[in-house]
Structure 1
Amino acid sequence: MWRAALLFLCFTTGLARADTVYVLNSGDASISVVDVTTFAEVRRIPLLREAHHIVLSPDGRDLVLGDSAANELIFLDPTTGEIRRRERISNPYHLEFSPNGRYLVVASLRRDQIDIYEAATLTLIHRIRQRDKPSHVAFSPDSRWVYVTLQGTRQVSAVDLSNGSVAWVQEVGPEPAGIIWNRGKLLIGLMGRQEFVTLDPATREVRTAFRVGRGAHTAFPAPDGRTLYATSRVDSRIAEVDAETYEVRRVFEIPGGPDCIAFDPEGRIYATLRWTGRILAFDPRTGESAQARVGRSPHGIFVVPQREGVAVDFAYAAPGAISGSRPMAQPVVGGGAIVRVAVPPTPVAAPAVATEVADRAPAPTPGTVSATPASATAPR
């Protein structure tokens, strides 16, 4: 632990105040609060049952997280960590606010439904029944459409937000999970395969974009709007992808099953490691990294900057940087060299308590994953 603290003292030199990282522990029904100056958990906030994803409210006032098994939304003060209020809501697994701030859309994985709420009042406007496991949500930039992956049916569903109707359903591949909007197309991770695919919402054409490894999960735009970081939970990797060309520049091998990613304003990566109960902080410019222990099965993560001139919504202010809502990249094929991240091997175990079906995946072998030739990251 002292090495991690020393490393992050170096990371944060010159900053007026330390950033705060909020981590949702799905297996412990809690939120870990981590101070990046020491890179240690300084507080743990109890929840009821099983939280998964966390977003910022449209006004920037609250962090909003879903305790899916407890059927609750929790509104958290980003600065103090105080729980401001709780609202009853049906199975909020993955949730996103529309770019115009009017809608809150919830994918209810266990209850096979997509719920559309008026964001300001949390009034349920539409409930759309789906066949099997609505998983992740993304919007068109004009807030007209919401797209939801259906993990159990290999499909993506397109819903017209103006009337709550399903316009079309398109097959994309086995176990689609994360989905984001990328310059007129949707980028989707296929947990049942190794690749990310693009889906053109106008023509419904599906094409392979790039590969990262087994358990391809979701992609996260960096604050600079020029880079995507895509996760593979089974092969335990994070791929650095050019947002303009989809070229895979580097593939970082990270034991522990990287899942959700957040960034600080300098572009450092903070990732939850689902199978080891830790979070990773990693600077892709220097290769420096550190880990901190949190609760079991950490999933959603959010970085709140604490410095002069940077607001909590810094990532949303950068062009093309909001996951799920703004345009990012066009697809072309790419390769990418494998890079080992110097993190200490840790005992690997799957979460000891039940989690959402979408997050059950085999734990990787303890230690560092074997290097893969660069050619293996190219599309078939």
Structure 2
Amino acid sequence: MRRLAALMLLFLGLATPPARADVLYVLNSGDAEIMVLDATTRQEIRRIGVLREAHHLVWAPDRSVLLIGDSGGNEMLFVQPATGEVLRRERISNPYHMEFSPDGKHLVVTSLRRNQVDIYAWNGTDLALRARLRMPDKPSHLAFRPDSKIVYVTLQGSRAMAAISLETQLPLWQMEVGREPAGVIWHNDRLLVGIMGSDHVAVVNPETRAVERTIFTGRGAHALFVGPNQGPVYVTSRVDSRITALDPTTLQMTQSWVVPGGPDCLTFDPEGRIWATLRWSGRVGVLDPETGAQESFRIGRSPHGILYVPVRPTAAAPRTASATR
């Protein structure tokens, strides 16, 4: 009778449902699986098997669904963010890294293994392939111009970056930026590129096509993420196992932390803590940038993409971050 009464109260809106925990997604590329965890207890909520290798994930523009790429299995998973339920799977050619254009009209997918960049139209629910461009040697990460007219793609095997028009869906130009360029973001009218084969971030002027500056961050400079509230630019350096914070205005280094295990991708929780996949140690690290306190926990082999999904209501709106994933 008590259970029936509670259900009736909930139905009538007179009772509060149990709080739902924040969710953490971790893509274990070496285990062919996606782990969905309770972010507070670190307990497993769900484990999603993939065909081969999941590397990156991205929010749909309206944040109603997550798209997770199984690059080795040539499949895209559409997942309900709060629960980890797989809504559907679609055949997509080698989805390694992917991002939606700022206007939400296109999803661009890089294919590291097949040397191609695919441009898909997005209508809010479905993808439709509009163009497939053959690119030289390992197209890796990507970033958009804010007006959604151009996408920039790093080419790891060619020491280069390419610009592609989303209006004509054709390449515009290519320039050399450094050995094994990887992560890239648009920041204050410049492109910031992690030079993985070296130890720095290249600051590129896309109008003049010149590297204007290099910023030392550590060997294996890989991916870049803009912190909450347009805060610091964080750079992961996998070889030196380091996370570096750059001032968002001057790009001067403000802090640097040794984070053992090869930090790769980052995500942020509502308190501003950094959650990092530690690629070489099979762990997830948690770093408080205010105090420098660190912890880590075991997850799986070769964890790559990671995303913190706030589900619990909070007193203040959660701080969000734009990032390469």
Q: 1:192-233, CA deviations, whole angstroms, 9 ceiling, x for partnerless residues? A: 110001111110110334111111001111112021110000
Structure of greater relative contact order (alpha carbons < 8 Å, 6+ residues apart): 1
- 1:150 is the counterpart of 2:172: no
The amino acid of 1:206's aligned partner reads V
Aligned match of 1:166:
171
By how many angstroms is 1:41 displaced?
A: 3.6
Q: Deviations over 1:151-206 (max 9, x none)?
A: 00000000000011111001001000000000111000001110001111110110
CA contact (8 A) 1:194 1:211 kept: yes
Amino acid at match of 1:94: H
| Structure 1 residues 226 and 314: alpha-carbon distance in aligned structure 2, compared to 1, 3 A threshold | closer
| Alpha-carbon offset, residue 47 of structure 1 | 1.3
Alpha-carbon distance between aligned partners in 1 of 2:100 and 2:48, rounded to the nearest angstrom:
24
Deviates more, 1:232-241 or 1:41-50: 41-50
Question: 2:266 — aligned with what?
Answer: 261
**Aligned partners of 2:24, 2:145: CA distance in 1, in Å?**
28
Once the two structures are superposed, residues 50-108 of structure 1 have per-residue CA deviations (whole angstroms, 9 ceiling, x without a partner) of 00001100121111110001100001101111000111110000000001000000000
What is the aligned partner in structure 1 of residue 91 from structure 2?
88
The structural deviation recorded for 1:122 is 1.3
Partner deviation per Cα, 1:265-298 (whole Å, 9 max, x = no partner)? 2211000000111101111112222212111100
Q: Do the aligned residues in 1 keep the contact of 2:229 with 2:319 (CA within 8 Å)?
A: no
In the alignment, residue 92 of structure 1 is paired with which amino acid?
P
Aligned to 1:236: 241
Give the structure-2-normalised TM-score.
0.90
| Match runs of 1:1-380 below 5 Å | 17-120=20-123, 121-308=126-313, 315=320, 321-323=321-323
Write the distance in 2 (CA, Å) between the matches of 1:137 and 1:310: 35
- Which runs of 5 or more residues in structure 2 are unaligned? 1-18
CA distance in 2, matches of 1:208, 1:30: 39
User: 2:315 and 2:213 mapped to 1: Cα distance?
Assistant: 37
Question: For residues 125-163 of structure 1, what are the alpha-carbon distances to aligned partners after superposition, in whole Å with 9 as ceiling and x for unaligned?
Answer: 111111100000100000000000000000000000001
CA distance in 1, matches of 2:131, 2:170: 9
SS of 1:224's equivalent?
Answer: helix
Larger proportion of strand: 2
Give the unaligned 5+ runs of structure 1. 1-15, 316-320, 326-380
Q: Supply the AA of the counterpart residue of 1:141.
A: P
The answer (yes or no) to whether the contact 1:60–1:312 under 8 Å persists in 2 is no
SS in structure 2 of the partner of residue 152 of structure 1: helix
How far apart in 1 are the matches of 2:82 and 2:21?
11
Q: How many residues align?
A: 305
Distance in 1 separating the partners of 2:249 and 2:271: 20
Distance in structure 2 (CA, Å) of the matches to 1:235 and 1:112:
28
Shift in CA distance, 274/106, structure 1 to aligned 2, threshold 3 Å: same
Overall identity of the aligned pairs, in %: 54
Letter aligned with residue 106 of structure 1: V
8 A contact 1:75–1:85 mirrored in 2: yes
Secondary structure in 1 aligned to 2:129? strand
| Shift of residue 307, structure 1, vs aligned partner | 2.3
How far 1:306 sits from its partner (Å)? Answer: 1.8
Residue aligned with 1:39, SS: coil
User: Which residue of 2 is the match for residue 363 of structure 1?
Assistant: none
- Is the CA contact (8 Å cut-off) linking 1:259 and 1:299 kept in structure 2? yes
